[in-house]
A and B are shown apart, each in its own frame.
Chain A
């Protein structure tokens, strides 16, 4: 039962353009969402998060949008850089539950 879904296993964009990574969730109890970035042979690193009381959070080139009615969130990277090439995981949590539920990840490739 996948409660967090990343339906695109991979995405390829040109350097300087926008990358949009999508994530859908099914559990309406989720109220906090995170994006992690993972390079090969390394652990995931935290990128950006958003609480369900917001619909947008921005940090430099990274913006996360949350659409609660659609149970959908997206990560926008503008402009994309080759160093952004990595696997991006969407994760979600409910209330004060410690447990993070992860999606399967999307491999982003930014071409020079």
Chain B
């Protein structure tokens, strides 16, 4: 009964390829997020969707495109992969999307992307 799940867990690919990472949450939450943890270990937000609407879009390359088919799913598609895209990508969800005290974010297990 995984609350926030991501697939795949590991992804190894060549430069220039296009890949997708999928995220699903079964918590009934309204808001979902994508974070990137780079080699320096910082967790940085990339995108957030609230009820399928994009609400946070940090400065990330256009090669990254999130897609939310419904509020339980938030997928991340990456075009023309580069070496610098190698990182661990975490999906998260939160119940209210209002940023209030109860709006704790729950994280998935992460997807380790390695670009060769």
Chain A: residues with CB nearer than 8 A to chain B? 32, 34, 36, 41-46, 49, 51, 89, 93, 95-100, 102, 104-105
* B45 CB contacts on chain A under 8 angstroms: 99-100
The reply to whether the CB of B116 lies closer than 8 angstroms to some CB of chain A is no
CB within 8 Å for A43 and B90 given contacts A99-B45, A99-B56, A104-B40: yes
Chain B residues within 8 Å of chain A by Cβ, number: 30
CB within 8 Å for A95 and B99 given contacts A41-B109, A43-B109, A44-B107: yes
Interface pair B48/A98, CB less than 8 Å apart: yes
CB within 8 Å for A99 and B43 given contacts A41-B110, A45-B107: no
* A99 CB contacts on chain B under 8 angstroms: 45, 48, 56, 58
* 28 pairs from A and B in contact (CB 8 Å cutoff): A32-B99, A32-B101, A41-B109, A42-B109, A43-B4, A43-B90, A43-B92, A43-B107, A43-B110, A44-B43, A44-B90, A44-B107, A46-B106, A49-B101, A49-B104, A93-B99, A96-B99, A96-B100, A98-B48, A98-B50, A98-B94, A98-B99, A99-B45, A99-B58, A100-B45, A102-B43, A104-B40, A104-B41
CB within 8 Å for A42 and B104 given contacts A93-B99, A98-B55, A99-B48: no
* Extra pairs beyond A44-B107, A96-B99, A99-B48 (19, CB < 8 Å): A34-B104, A36-B107, A41-B109, A42-B109, A43-B107, A43-B110, A44-B43, A49-B101, A51-B101, A95-B99, A96-B98, A98-B48, A98-B55, A98-B56, A98-B99, A98-B103, A99-B58, A102-B42, A104-B41
